Structure 1
């Protein structure tokens, strides 16, 4: 693990290593300072460590939460746009290569766009199941693991809401990226020694 951390730091990332979800949440809180604005990218990992609940219940920050129940699609889109110009953007990743590339597929693209440019800092929660050897392995993981599970999750959610399931590879995974840090310490990685997310 130390070898991976050294490589990631040499690529320009700020890296933390957490033994479990609880420690990952405590490390995340270091970056949630009073008065900041926070954007969200779609991430099961963020929810699993308890960070989403922490953000939603934190009255000392401005959170652009596009996942709030009951908001319109127009408000959802507005919040996603606002989230791209925040002090901190919180998300997960589909894969992280051992040479320091974040590999992702998105439906709308707001998550990967924010990773690339916009927010002052980006906090990425990475479960050990997301670490792969290469970009090729990362994209294989995106298509055969992450996208499949996300599509299933989104369609189940639609059915629960009484809507027609409409998610498939064409609309849930149509923007592909691999990103390497450019501005030193702008992207903060919390590597969690547990399996998280998809």
Structure 2
């Protein structure tokens, strides 16, 4: 990854009270997460293809952390409970749909539990993102989440909205829609609450 681009991203996010760290591999980022999260802390996990590749829920659970991951539940009721408990976790780890070099974190969610935890609740938030999700501007990041992230995540979740066939957002009103909550994080009131881990690999949607 170009050093001048790294410097630009670090500078712009730092001005918004978001800490940035770069890693060459997902493995390096995983080791850092394990290193900085205390064993006695509860950890909420956002549903993320990237985090599944990292296997972070299992690693944290095996070493003694209380892990709140809705994807490991066995019923819808249990999943809903875990999503609510995650809002009160000590740490929250999640992926994201896109970031801009200008310093924005952009997400579209179905139920909104992931973006809710990113915004408020957990004391610390770690966002893990591959280099493929870095966009030059907020407008490009918005286009990415609508036209790339949403169709692929809909397919993964078993939904079939029009964008899946059209490869673009048409602002549908169908029951198959998965993009009910569009959230742009432009900064943090609490300095260094949010950490952005950028991986020099293509990861997730």
TM-score by length of 1: 0.88
The equivalent of 1:133 in structure 2 is: 136
Say if 1:37 and 1:143 are closer, same or farther in 2 by CA, change over 3 A.
same
RMSD of aligned residue pairs (Cα, Å): 1.5
Per-residue CA deviations over 1:101-134 (Å, capped at 9, x if unaligned) read 1100000000111111111011100110111122
Q: Secondary structure at the match of 2:47?
A: coil
Q: Secondary structure at the match of 1:30?
A: helix
The equivalent of 2:185 in structure 1 is: 179
The equivalent of 1:160 in structure 2 is: none
Say if 1:82 and 1:167 are closer, same or farther in 2 by CA, change over 3 A.
farther
Q: Secondary structure at the match of 2:191?
A: coil
Tell me if structure 2 keeps the 8 A contact 1:154–1:167.
Answer: no
The equivalent of 1:118 in structure 2 is: 121
Name the CA distance, whole Å, in 1 between partners of 2:41 and 2:52: 20
Q: Does 1:87 align with 2:94?
A: no
> Which segments of 5 or more consecutive residues in structure 1 lack a partner in the other structure?
156-165
TM-score by length of 2: 0.85
Name the CA distance, whole Å, in 2 between partners of 1:145 and 1:96: 13
Tell me if structure 2 keeps the 8 A contact 1:47–1:53.
Answer: no
> Which segments of 5 or more consecutive residues in structure 2 lack a partner in the other structure?
1-5, 164-175
Name the CA distance, whole Å, in 1 between partners of 2:81 and 2:126: 21
Name the CA distance, whole Å, in 2 between partners of 1:167 and 1:32: 38
